[in-house]
Amino acid sequence: MTDLLIKLIPLFPLLAVILNGFAGKRYSHDVAHRLAWGSVGLSFLCTIGVFADILQTGTPHEVIAYQWIFGGDLTINLAYLVDPLTCIMLLVVTGVGLLIHIYSVGYMHGEDGFTRFFTYMNLFMVSMLLLVMGNNYVVLFIGWEGVGLCSYLLIGYYYDKVSAAKAASKAFVVNRIGDAGFLVAIFLIFINFKTLDYTKVFAQVSQLSPEMATAIALCLLVGAVGKSAQLPLYTWLPDAMEGPTPVSALIHAATMVTAGVYMIVRNHAIFDLSPTAMTIVGVIGGLTALFAATIGLVQTDIKRVLAYSTVSQLGYMILGCGIGAYTAAIFHLMTHAFFKALLFLSAGSVIHALSGEQDIRKMGGLSSKIPWTYRLFLIGTIAIAGIPPLAGFWSKDEILAHAFTHHHYLLYGMAAIGALLTSFYMFRLIYLTFYGRSRMDHHTEEHVHESPMVMVVPLMALGVLSIVGGFLGFPPEHGWLHQFLAPVAGTGEEHAAGTGLVLMLMMFATGIALLGWGLAHYFYSVNLSAPDHLAAKFQAAYRILLNKYYVDELYDLLWVEPTKKLGLLLDWFDRNVIDGLVRAVAQLADLGAAGATWMEKYVIYSGINVVGYGNHLAARQWRQLQSGMVHHYAAIIVAGLFLLAVIIQLIMQL
């Protein structure tokens, strides 16, 4: 029964993809969106069924849906492994996915390509489900590439907008770098273990030499860095905000970008073998968390601020992986999915209300005009800022506490400063968007309206999850989530940190978050000239932050432009050298053909013509034989008869 449910989970959205993709134009938008979110809803129900089963029995399920590649010692199945880790991922993906699908019905209402949007979204769901459910690296990789493709398609959803098309190809190309590393890791795993099934690989992982473990772990990390937008491959994620807002919420905040975290946790057995790789993972996570938060301080596009905060939060998760706090990383992944989806969707609601305006300098004073969006955005902000008792506090604090109690003080410092900045820029967003006086132009202001219920209700659900989601991991280190994930992520060695230290760290984290809030309040509510004043004072620093450390420009200079130049060079080479060769060969063939034609026309044909004309002449003579007179024929027959008789006579005599 559970096996059937597991098989059904990715099947429903796939069915919707096929229907909407091939026949979507035949029926109305109403049918299309019902199919889309209905299928995700059915998947969600199946997931709950599977979850209930695993919760009761605690045994992971391995289901082979289809024998795919087999022969020799290579067997690759389209098979699913559903254990507690997959369960959590499934619940997040289908649950948050369902809410975002429903929200999209309102948000995308009346857009061109409404059906196309939902087809891509469902295709994304299929890929993401394969990614988290696969029981081997090949299925994981299929899902991995599938979500990359859908990300590309959905970022480029407004394909007639040049910036969107460019952002889409940027995301795709940057992700390819990570995928190349991931592929190398898969090859290395296959060479070392002769199998790609998780269970078999992890069973014999201890035979791995430390160097090989480091190599595999680092290659996997390259994949995770690409997909989860870490330093130095994070540049695609802020640009990915060109897509519709539900896409940003679902793909570029809640699910796809967390695939890297999921992958590292899934492969933690390999990472555990290599302290070097773990250190690198932790440092990359910490640096990203801090680095992205600093950029987020000065951005003025509401979605871009959220994008940088996503990069930063993903940094926390990777940091958690790097210090061995896998459960905490997954916990933060889950709570982040709740509150970041909530934030993005509320931002979408704000943008919707302002008829497409995304610049926070042109907002302000919206709290009374769109009260529900305001309240929900505030919940999301408090959650992400890490103020108890909302979800973000518990998960983020757990990573921070783990870093501190395991003596990663540098990482703890980076993460703590990052947390301060997070709290600051998120409340900055609140103050600039919802408080103060309105900076909208008159026309926009007249049309401000609260979003329809179909958008607000999913927001409320996410808001509730953002408030209570943190209690799944309560009390810290021993919560329900930790016990549930223990078979997969390990319990983690017991550390000697006393309750007092934990409480102190919690209070410190809360203090940081409140300090961020206070600063934001001072800068954007009390002393309004302070931000400009500060920007003028530290003009160089401000400009660097505003231009995102010039990383894009640096990459352009270092990689993109040389690659383009190389492309042009290769184009020239192709046009002139290779095509030249091809043309020369063609000319030769042409010449040969002309020679052959002459030969045939004047030598071979003349020979054939001589034979033909000879026949013609001979026939002219021979046909005289046929007189048409019956008598002649009869006479010839008689003559022949006699001749035959004579010959037979002669033969008989011999």
- For another protein, give the closer residue by CB, 499 or 626: 626
- For another protein, give the closer residue by CB, 613 or 642: 642
Q: Shortest distance, CB of residue 613 to another protein, whole angstroms?
A: 18
- For another protein, give the closer residue by CB, 616 or 623: 623
Q: What is the DSSP string of 325-390?
A: -HHHHHHHHHHHHHHHHHHHHHHHHHHHHTTT--BGGG----TTTSHHHHHHHHHHHHHHHT-TTS
Distance of CA 133 to the CA centre of its chain: 15
Alpha helices (runs of H) in 26-136, residue ranges in sequence order: 29-57, 84-107, 114-133
Q: What is the DSSP string of 78-94?
A: EEEEE-HHHHHHHHHHH
Q: Shortest distance, CB of residue 622 to another protein, whole angstroms?
A: 10
Q: Shortest distance, CB of residue 609 to another protein, whole angstroms?
A: 23
From residue 388, alpha-carbon distances to 2, 246, 313, 391, 459 in Å are 37, 27, 17, 8, 20
Helix 114-133 and helix 84-107, axial crossing angle in degrees, nearest 10: 170
CA distance 220 to 271: 9
Q: Shortest distance, CB of residue 648 to another protein, whole angstroms?
A: 16
- For another protein, give the closer residue by CB, 67 or 627: 627
Q: Shortest distance, CB of residue 636 to another protein, whole angstroms?
A: 10
Name the token pair of 375: 């309240």
Name the token pair of 408: 């990663």
Beta-sheet pairing, 74-82 with 61-71: antiparallel
Q: Shortest distance, CB of residue 585 to another protein, whole angstroms?
A: 54
Q: Shortest distance, CB of residue 584 to another protein, whole angstroms?
A: 57
- For another protein, give the closer residue by CB, 534 or 635: 635
67 DSSP β-pair partners: 77
Residue whose structure tokens are 């996915």? 97
- For another protein, give the closer residue by CB, 540 or 630: 630
Residues that bind another protein (CB under 8 A): 623, 626-631, 634-635, 638
- For another protein, give the closer residue by CB, 25 or 623: 623
CA distance 226 to 203: 28
Q: What is the DSSP letter of 279?
A: H
Contacts with 381 (C-beta within 8 Å, 6 or more apart), sequence order: 343, 426, 427, 429, 430
- For another protein, give the closer residue by CB, 625 or 650: 625
- For another protein, give the closer residue by CB, 582 or 638: 638
Q: Shortest distance, CB of residue 631 to another protein, whole angstroms?
A: 6
CA distance 248 to 451: 18
Q: Shortest distance, CB of residue 626 to another protein, whole angstroms?
A: 5
CA distance 289 to 308: 9
